[in-house]
Amino acid sequence: MLREFRLYRRTIKIHLLSTLEYKGWWFMVLTVLVQCAAEPFVIVLMFHRFGGIGVWTLERILLVYALALTSFGLAESLCRGFDYFPWHMVRTGNFDRLLLRPKSLFTQVASSFFHIHRLARASAGLAVTIWALTRLGVPFTLYSAAMLTAALLGGILMYTGVFVMSSGVAFFTIKALDWIYIFTNASYQVTRMPRDHMPALFKYLFTFFLPVLVISYYPASAVCGWGEPSWLGWLALPSGAAFLAGSLLVWRIGVRHYKSTGS
């Protein structure tokens, strides 16, 4: 396990150093930052014009949204290889080379791509999280720090699971994976909708199948005291781990049924 982590760290370091060789790398980071800042701007304008929606204020909405956004940004940065896998490994036959190496396939695929500008999404989400917590008057305590850390770790595991699951399905569908964006970019956008006003289908889908609300809404409720049982906030980490475990099962089934693309 330690050897695999060292391999992952060294590979990511190589990708990072190669990216920094390009003089315009900072512009890519700035572009993503502007994009991430523009996404919740519609929410800000709406609340500025119409005020809150019941107990849901701008700070509440942005806190839940930012927790999901930060988790997605970190998972997308640290496991970018799985996001690229269907298009850059299966169809091109590059996956055949990984099978010949005496190293973990998970580590090789996860570290095969790294884009520094993707960290901008996580940075923006973290900044909004801190701003929202400050505006809501949430004191920094060991409890709140542990709860939010567990929420972010659970979110990273969950979104990593989404990328791993899409890669496992890619062995059978080759490339027809446009539907997977429902569970990546579209899923954290759902958190901009107040949970109390979500359609029942969305509420159950993003709680019990893809636990987006478990890694965002319930931890936020626990640290802010919104009335939900506080123990629900601690489910973020185990639910994310459970989703990743199921995704790894899909991945292993795909690898087992993989047939070389040949030349």
In a domain, 261, yes or no: no
pTM beyond cutoff 0.85: yes
**For residue range 216-236, what is the model confidence (pLDDT) as tens digits?**
999 999 999 898 898 999 999
Query: What are the backbone angles phi and psi of residue 66, rounded to the nearest 5°?
Result: -70, -35
Rounded CA gap, 113 and 55, in Å? 42
Dihedral (C-alpha) 148, 41, 117, 151: value to the nearest 10 degrees?
10
Tokens of 74: 């970190």
Can you list the positions of beta strands (E) in the chain? none
Range of the domain at 181: 2-256
* Mean pLDDT score, 38-66: 79
Find tokens 């304008």 and name the residue.
Answer: 45
Q: Where are the alpha helices (DSSP H) in the chain?
A: 2-20, 25-38, 41-50, 58-78, 80-85, 95-99, 105-110, 119-135, 142-173, 185-190, 200-204, 217-224, 236-256
**For residue range 173-230, what is the model confidence (pLDDT) as tens digits?**
766 566 677 777 777 878 888 888 888 888 898 999 899 999 999 999 999 989 889 8
What is the model's pLDDT at position 98?
84
In a domain, 47, yes or no: yes
The answer to whether the beta carbons of residues 129 and 99 sit under 8 Å apart is no
Q: Please classify residue 209 by burial: count the beta carbons closer than 10 Å to its beta carbon, then call 0-12 exposed, 13-18 middle and 19+ buried.
A: exposed
Q: Which of 109, 32, 43, 108 is nearest to 72 (CA)?
A: 32
The answer to whether the beta carbons of residues 171 and 255 sit under 8 Å apart is yes
In a domain, 263, yes or no: no
pLDDT at 88 over 70: yes
Q: Which of 162, 163, 135, 158 is nearest to 220 (CA)?
A: 135
In a domain, 99, yes or no: yes
Which SS3 state, helix, strand or coil, does residue 24 take? coil
In a domain, 178, yes or no: yes
Number of structural domains (the chain) is: 1
In a domain, 240, yes or no: yes
Average pLDDT, the chain: 84
pLDDT at 150 over 90: yes
Tokens of 193: 């909708």
In a domain, 171, yes or no: yes
Q: Classify residue 205 by its DSSP letter.
A: I
In a domain, 246, yes or no: yes
